[in-house]
Amino acid sequence: MVTHMGIWKRLRLTLDMIKFEHSVFALPFALTGAMLAWRSQGFPREGLLMKLVWIVVAMVAARSAAMTFNRVLDADVDALNPRTKDRHLPAGKLSRGFAWGFTAVCVLVFMAAAAQLNSLCLLLAMPTLAVLFFYSYTKRFTSFSHLVLGFTLGMAPSAAWIAMTGTLDPTIVLLTLAVMFWTAGFDIIYSCQDFEFDSKSELYSMPKRLGIPRSLLVARMLHVAMIVCLLLLVRGFGLGVISVAGAAAVMLLLIYEHSLVKPNDLSRVNAAFFTVNGYVSVLFFLFWAADIYFA
């Protein structure tokens, strides 16, 4: 009983370490990709629920594996950063061995889910994991790591399309680009907190390269690019006014997000990063799902 309790406690700590609840950032975009694929096929009902279940399982497992890998790889760096020194691994709350084991289990679950979807998903499963794990190294040699992170989340809607259809429509790549620009933008904002630490370390980031004021400007430009991609996507798939309203809601939320963060005042970065972006993904899905299903 003690052993089982220990395992469950370590599992809870692991889920807390990787901020499991933040799966909400990419999941709505993945489901939107799946719904657009479903629409393109004429709204077939057969097998829909199970495909959606396996898409969710695959996405959550892949993210969990990648986040745990990132925490293990960055544990020594996190120990030196005042903002992150109390994270689970550097603080000794969780062992690296358990984290590696959790990563391996998530990889197996992801592979199993990909196999349940279709042969192309299974074929692309390992390259997908390679991209997800590769991100963790990019902070060590490029200031464009934010865009790589964005691409790792942006793969979700295109992957969902492949899961639904077994092929890839080039138009859905616009949603991948939209998510990539969105994620890179808010990650730049978040990384401004570590400007001083990054400046003294061997890590790379946009704030370290450009400074905080110009980095925030780059984040704004990336979010403008996101909105442009969404509007092009509306046109590409022949969507209606509800989707346009969803893009407008996202734009207003992003304007609010940028109003929370100033070059000389980063005290509300967490509100901008966690709260606002959670609303962005959920509201986007609600508007676009309504347009796809009811229009």
For helices 2-17 and 96-117, the axis angle rounded to 10 degrees is 70
Average pLDDT, the chain: 94
pLDDT digits (tens, 9 = 90+) for 99-127: 999 999 999 999 999 999 999 999 999 99
For helices 212-237 and 241-260, the axis angle rounded to 10 degrees is 170
- The mean pLDDT value for 203-214 works out to 96
Range with the poorest average pLDDT among 45-49, 181-185, 223-227: 45-49
- Strands (DSSP E) along 161-292, which ranges? none
Residue 260 CA, chain-centre distance (Å), reads 21
User: Any idea what DSSP says for residue 87?
Assistant: S
What local confidence, expressed as pLDDT, does residue 272 receive?
79
What local confidence, expressed as pLDDT, does residue 294 receive?
86
Residue 190 CA, chain-centre distance (Å), reads 14
- The mean pLDDT value for 30-49 works out to 93
Give the CATH number for residue 33. Answer: 1.10.357.140
Q: What is the domain range of residue 131? A: 2-294
Q: Report the half-sphere exposure of 182 (CA within 13 A, side-chain side).
A: 34
- Total domains, the chain: 1
**CA angle (80, 136, 103) in 5-degree steps:** 100
pLDDT band at 216 (very low <50, low <70, confident <90, very high): very high
- Global pTM value: 0.94
What local confidence, expressed as pLDDT, does residue 5 receive?
46
Cα→Cα distances 44→62, 67, 160, 232, 288, Å: 27, 34, 16, 26, 18
For residue 1, is pLDDT > 50? no
pLDDT digits (tens, 9 = 90+) for 225-274: 999 999 999 999 999 999 999 999 999 999 999 999 999 999 998 877 88
- The mean pLDDT value for 269-282 works out to 88
What local confidence, expressed as pLDDT, does residue 275 receive?
86
* 283 burial level (CB within 10 Å; 0-12, 13-18, 19+): middle
- Amino acid identity at 116: Q
pLDDT digits (tens, 9 = 90+) for 190-200: 999 999 999 99
pLDDT digits (tens, 9 = 90+) for 123-163: 999 999 999 999 999 999 999 999 999 999 999 999 999 99
Helix, strand or coil for residue 78? helix
